[in-house]
Chains A and B, each alone.
Chain A
Amino acid sequence: MNDSRVLLTASIGLCAVIGIWGVADPASLQAIAKEIVDQYFISRGWFVMLSVTIMLLFCLGLTVTKFGDIRLGADTDRPEYTTPTWIAMLFAAGMGVGLLFWAVAEPLTHYYLASQAIPAPIAAEQALLASNFNWGIHAWAIYGTTALTIAYFSFRRGTPMLVSAPVKNLFPGEMWANAVGWFSDFMAIAAIAIGVGGSVAMGVFQVADGVTVLFGGGATPTYLVWGVFLVMIAAYIPPLLVDLGSGMAKLSNIAMGLAIALVAYTIILGPSEFLLNSVVSGIGMYVAEVIPRGLQTFTFFGDETTQWFRDWTLTYMVWWIAWGPFVGVFVARISKGRTIREFVLGVLIGPTLFSTIWFGAFGGVGLYETLNGQGELLALTQTNVERMTFALLDRLPFATITTIATIAAAFLFIVTSVVSAAFVLGMFSTGGNPDPSAKVRVLWGGLLGILGAAMILSGSMNAVKTLIALGALPFVFITVLLMVCLTKALLQDSRKETEHADR
C-alpha cells in the first residue's frame, strides 16, 4: 500500500509541476518538449513503425494459433457485456471525440498537400488512405497488445491490473523488474492524467465552438467555455457513482448510436452513390496497402513529405501508444470471459471497419465538394480547420438537428473518456483493484476536472499536445516490453500444460 502512495504522490507531483510550468511559461515548455519530440521522431521513426507493425502481426498471429482458444478468465467465465456494447465501449474509450472533429478535416488536409504534387484523383485516394491508416487497425493493434497482456496476466495469472504487473510477475523480486515496473506505472498515471485533462480542455473548446456555430458563429465567448465545462463536470459525476454496466455502457451506446446515425444521414442525404463508392474503394485501398503502409517511412521523399509523415502518421502512432495503458487497462477490464481469438478479432476488426466507413463517408463528401463543387471546404483546411465538421453539416439538410447531434455526441464521448479514465486511475491508485470504490472514482474525476480547468486557463492547446507526445515517448518501449512479456508467458504456460498432459 505504501508503495502505491509513493507512486501516486510522485505522479501527481509531476503533473502539478508541468501544470504550473505550462500556465506560467507555456512557450518555453513547448519549445523544449518540441525539440525532444522532433529528435525522437527523426531518429526512431523506423522503430516506431516497425514496432506497431510487429504488434499487428503478433495479434493476428495469435488468432490462427492454439493460443487463440485461451479464455481471458477462468475457462467457465463468459463475457460480461454483449458484443455490440463491448465494441461501443472500446470505441468510446479509444477514439471517440477525435474522429468527430477530424472526419472531414483530416482527409482534406492530406488532399491539400498531396494535390500540389500529384493529380487530383490520386491525391484524393491517397488522402483517404492516409486517414484510414492513421485511425485504422494499427492503432487497435497497439491497444489490443496492451489490453491483451494486462488481461492475460490479470485473469490467468491473478496479477493486479497494472502496467507493471506482467514484468513483475515474470521476474519476481528482481530489482530491474521492480524499477522498470515502477517507472511504467508512474509514467502511465502521469500520461493518463495529462492526456485526459488535455482532452477535457480540447473537448470543452470544441463543444463551446459548436454551440457558437449553432447561434450564428463569431468568436466563442469565455462564459460559454466555462458554462460547458461546468455542465460537463455535472454530467460525468453521476456515471462515476454507479457501476460500469449501467453508467459507461449506456453512455457509450448512446454516443455510438449518434455517430452511426450521423454517418447514415450523410450517406443517405449526401451524394449517396459517390459516398458509397468512396467507402468501398477506401476499404479496398486500405486492405491492399495496410501492411506496406505500416512500414512506409517516406525516407526517399523531400523534406515536406517527411515532415508531413512525422506530423501526422508518427504523431498518431505515438499518441495511440500513449493512450495504450489507459485504453488497454480499460479494455482488459471489460473483456473478461472472451477468448483471445474473439478478443483480437473484435478489437481489431470492429472499430477499424467503422472508421473506414466513417472516413469514406465524411472524407468522401469533403472530396466531392472539392472535386465537383466550389472547393470551399478545402479552403477551410487552411483557415478554420476546427469548424470543418460543422461547415460540412451546414451544407446538408437539417443542419440544426445534425449540429446538435454532433455536439451531443462530442459531449458524450468526452464524458465516457473521463469516466473510463477515472476508473483506470482508480485501479492504479488502489494497487490494481479491478473495482475501485465510487469514492476513489469521484476523487479522480474531480482531479481530472481540475487539470482540465488548468489547461483551459493556460489557453495553450499546442503546448498540451506537444506535452502529450513527450509523455508518450517512453511507452514505445514499454508497449514492446509488454508484448515480449505476453509472448514469454504464453510459451511458459503452454509448456507447463504439455508437461501436465504428458504426465
Chain B
Amino acid sequence: MLIGDPVDTFMNLGTFAFIGAMVWVLMRRPSD
C-alpha cells in the first residue's frame, strides 16, 4: 500500500494550514 503514516499526514495538513494562513495575512486589507 502507498498510504503514508497518519501522524505525518496530520502534521503536514497543519503545515498547509499555516501556509494558507500566511497567504491570508499577506493579502488581507487592514480593518480600518
- Residues B22 and A39 in contact, CB atoms below 8 Å apart: no
Contacts of A481 in B (CB 8 A): 22, 25
Spot the interface stretch: A40-48, A84-92, A139-147, A255-263.
A40-48
Contact A44 B15 (CB under 8 A): yes
**A359 vs B30: C-alpha distance in the bound complex, in angstroms?**
48
Q: Check A488 against B11 for contact (C-beta < 8 Å).
A: no
Residues of A within 8 A of B31 (CB): 171, 174
Check if A43 sits within 8 Å of B18, measured CB to CB: no
Q: Give the chain A neighbours of B8 by CB distance below 8 A.
A: 39, 42-43
What separation, in Å, do the CA atoms of A488 and B24 have in the docked complex? 11
Contact A44 B26 (CB under 8 A): no
Contact A43 B7 (CB under 8 A): yes
Tell whether A460 is near chain B: CB-to-CB under 8 Å. no
8 Å CB interface, A119-175 against B: 170-171, 174
Partner of B7, one of A39, A477, A484, A488: A39
A485/B12 in contact, CB under 8 A? no
> A487 contacts the other chain (Cβ, under 8 Å)?
yes
Interface residues of B in 6-20 (CB under 8 A from A): 7-8, 11-12, 15, 18
Q: Could you tell me the distance between the alpha carbons of A222 and B11 in the complex, rounded to whole angstroms?
A: 44
Taking CB atoms, residues of chain B closer than 8 Å to A484 are 22, 25-26
B22–A43 touching, CB < 8 Å: no
In the assembled complex, how far is the CB of residue A370 from the closest CB belonging to chain B, in whole angstroms? Answer: 39
Q: How far is the CA of A480 from the CA of B21 in the complex (A)?
A: 11
Contact string against B for A residues 475-489, beta-carbon threshold 8 Å, 1 for contact and 0 otherwise:
001001100110110
Task: Report yes or no: B11 in contact with A43, Cβ–Cβ below 8 A.
Answer: yes
A174 neighbours in B (Cβ, 8 Å): 31
Instruction: Provide the residues of chain B in CB contact with A488, threshold 8 Å.
Output: 25-26
> A480–B8 Cα gap in the complex (Å)?
21
Residues of B within 8 A of A487 (CB): 26
CB–CB A477/B18 < 8 A = yes
A47 engages B22 (CB within 8 Å): no
Tell which of A43, A171, A480, A492 touches B12, judged by Cβ atoms closer than 8 Å.
A43
Tell me, rounded to whole Å, the shortest Cβ–Cβ distance linking A366 to chain B. 38
Q: B22 — which chain A residues lie within 8 A by C-beta?
A: 480-481, 484
Contact of B15 among A39, A42, A47, A170 (CB under 8 A): A47
A487 to B22 Cα, complex, angstroms: 11
A44 x B11 contact (CB < 8 A): yes
Q: Which residue of B lies closest to A484 (CB)?
A: B22
Chain A residues with CB under 8 Å of B25's CB are: 170, 481, 484-485, 488
Across-interface contacts of B18 in A (CB, < 8 A): 477, 480
Complex CA distance for A272 and B30, rounded to whole angstroms: 60
- Given A39-B8, A43-B12, A43-B15, 19 other A-B residues pairs in contact with their CB atoms under 8 A: A39-B7, A42-B8, A43-B7, A43-B8, A43-B11, A44-B11, A44-B12, A47-B15, A170-B30, A171-B30, A171-B31, A477-B18, A480-B18, A481-B22, A481-B25, A484-B22, A484-B26, A488-B26, A492-B30
Write the residues of chain B forming the contact surface with A, with a CB cutoff of 8 angstroms: 7-8, 11-12, 15, 18, 22, 25-26, 30-31
Q: Which residue numbers of A lie inside 8 Å of B, CB to CB?
A: 39-40, 42-44, 47, 170-171, 174, 477, 480-481, 484-485, 487-488, 492
